[in-house]
Amino acid sequence: MPTYSYTCPRCGDFELLRTIARRTDPAHCPDCDCLGARALSSPHLSRLSPSLDRAATQAGLSSETPQVTRHIPAMAQPTSATTQRPGFPALPRP
């Protein structure tokens, strides 16, 4: 259900969750119970969660200034080829 903005003549702006069908109906102010008319506002794009906001910012930065690798990263040390479990027989090695 979307959030719509309304303006109370006494208290100012307030927001209300409403169905789309009732979006143009006047709404009662939660503070003084006066009827307030719907106020047009911009979409609530700033209400992204912090993690989504960081992801969107990082995606924008990555598209404009991608990180470039200038050297090959060091390889990880190979793990031991032998098993530590004595129950397994030794496998033939090439």
Binding residues for Zn ion, rule: CB under 5 A, are 8, 10-11, 29, 31-32, 34
Rank residues 32 and 55 by Cβ distance to Zn ion and give the closer one: 32
Residue 30 beta carbon to Zn ion: minimum distance, rounded to whole angstroms? 7
CA distance linking residue 17 with residue 55, whole number of Å? 27
Of 3 and 58, nearer to Zn ion (C-beta) is: 3
Closer CB to Zn ion, 8 or 16, in the complex: 8
The nearest distance, CB 12 to Zn ion, in angstroms, is: 8
d(CA 44, CA 24): 18
What type of residue sits at position 13? D
Of 37 and 61, the one with the shorter C-beta distance to Zn ion is: 37
What's the min distance (Å) between Cβ of 42 and Zn ion?
A: 22
- SS3 sequence of 27-59: EECCCCCCEEEEECCCCCHHHCCHHHHHHHHHH
The radius of gyration of the chain's CA atoms, rounded to the nearest angstrom, is 30
Query: Least separation, in Å, of the C-beta of 13 and Zn ion?
Result: 10
